[in-house]
Amino acid sequence: MELKRVVVTGLGALTPIGNTVEEYWNGLITGKSGAAPITRFDAEKFKTRFACEVKGYDPLDFFDRKEARKMDAFAQYAMVTADEAVKDSGLDVEKVDLDRIGVIWGSGIGGLDTFLQECAAFGKGDGTPRFNPFFIPKMIADIAAGQISMKYNFRGPNFATVSACATSTNALIDAYNYIRLGMADAFVTGGSEAAVNEAGIGGFNAMHAMSTRNDAPEIASRPFDLDRDGFVLGEGAGALILEEYEHAKARGANIYAELVGGGMSADAHHITAPHPEGLGARNVMLNALKDAHLKPEDIDYVNVHGTSTPLGDIAETKAIKAVFGEHAYNLNISSTKSMTGHLLGAAGAIESIATILAIKNDIIPPTINHFTDDPDIDPKLNLTFNTAQKRTVNAAISNTFGFGGHNASALFKKAE
């Protein structure tokens, strides 16, 4: 069968460096750091006392008090960004077939804060079970997809993806496949995460996964730098409207880019560490290229997973060299996590938005906080250190890799 084309017609973002798509993009191209001391709780006794929190967010700007109390922050973030994306897309719910518009939304952890608070309250009591009746609906990872569909009456396919830090890229790829197979006209897709709390910080600290550069949090996320010491936890959400090309064209929609390929793979190696030679990362990019019917030399930019971990950054650069060969030196490569921190299950969504806007604006956002070259990373690779670079971007890949060895890559190109 002939597969349908899939385009991006709407974007929404709530991030540590900007609470709208415009603010987010401006933060990216100016090299803004979202890291700062934690304000959500007293982190004095924790090994890591900073994070990339969403700033200036008040749920009452978007929800009434009763409604806000029924949703964990991760679901609130999803609703806020979905609303921005739907408005940006110009989708008119009075003029589209609501049975053919779906929602596929991901969260790596879901309502962690709700779970923490409810269990803490129970632990402080006398053993009598007194739980909030909204405890379970607030906590479960699929609730964001359900809430979005109910707001707009979108009755197409509706579910959640969970694949750790690859989660929202998997959501994107699922939505892409449903549309190109003719099973839906459009999707709201993306991911959200709100894990900056005692359990989130404490859990990742126990794994020795996060930076402990408490004296200078704004320069703690430093992908590819010799002195990187772990990722910086972030929070927020990203939403995309994916739409069948003819459907978008018929209604005169603005098209940001075309999604032309999705790759998935597994490391099959370790629960948290990447394959040392980047085997899964290599395979996932090759799979995305094959799906898109493109050659390695067609790619101009790779928005890497680039978490600022000692092992992960090296493995990913090895994978890029294995996939692209000599063309690797013609690529721009950057890690926007140097600015936003690591949004876990929402990383793929906001980084896909960064990739799409790089294509649309022909600007590569930088990898900030580079001070010292790592001798284990090829110095000839253009890792776009510290300053945004202008270049024509016709096609680009966004990589996300998750604990458990989950890998997902999305491949976008300029809209024709």
Residues tagged active-site: 165, 305, 342
CA distances for 281 relative to 182, 274, 378, 394, angstroms: 29, 9, 17, 22
Pick the closest to residue 40 from 194, 218, 217 (CA basis).
Answer: 194
| Cα separation, 272 vs 208, whole angstroms | 11
For residue 101, the cross-strand partners are 186
Pick the closest to residue 178 from 120, 101, 121, 253 (CA basis).
Answer: 101
Buried b (16+ CB within 10 A) or exposed e, 331-352: bbbbbbbbbbbbbbbbbbbbbb
For residue 242, the cross-strand partners are 8, 187
Secondary structure letter of residue 71 according to DSSP? S
For the chain, report the end-to-end CA distance as a whole number of angstroms: 22
